[in-house]
Amino acid sequence: MRDIPLAAVGLIKSFEGCRLSPYHDCVGFPTIGWGSLLSRQRYAELSKWPAISQQEADDILVMDIQRVCRSLARLISVPLTDGQYSALIDFVFNLGAGQFEISTLRKVINRGDYEDAPKQMMRWVYAGGRKLAGLVRRRDCECGLWCS
């Protein structure tokens, strides 16, 4: 498996932040650490998950990113620069491999249309039916990495 670029880790950390106690993300999914999903049950009772240490949060992040990288190895059939790879790691970490697998973005990339990828990324700025400024900023950063 390809090495994880530090740019991807930095981008994830900068947008997710780290919370050692469980919390609901912006659409209600139980989350912990550096944005690691605990359950797909929206607004699940948080008391069933204990707080974690900083080391545990960091370890979970590494495992989550490795899972994203395995998904990308399976889903992307064209070569990527480190910037493109970093952008996709953050994108898939944020959206999930399932959403990426069925996305037009994936199809565009796999047909080698690298120039259209940023436009496709910018379509993914909605959560819970609302356009979120944080997702716009995140997609802008991913597009910057993609084009670097």
Structure-token match 């996709």, residue found: 88
pLDDT, averaged across the chain: 96
Report the distance separating Cα 131 and Cα 139, nearest Å: 12
pLDDT tens-digit readout, 69-81: 999 999 999 999 9
Domain locations in the chain as residue ranges: 6-146
pLDDT at residue 110 greater than cutoff 80: yes
Q: Which fold has domain 6-146?
A: Lysozyme (1.10.530)
Q: Report whether 80 contacts 142 (CB < 8 A).
A: no
User: Hey, what are 71's tokens?
Assistant: 């998904």
Instruction: List active site positions.
Output: 16, 25
Q: Report whether 84 contacts 76 (CB < 8 A).
A: no
**0.85 cut: is pTM over it?**
yes
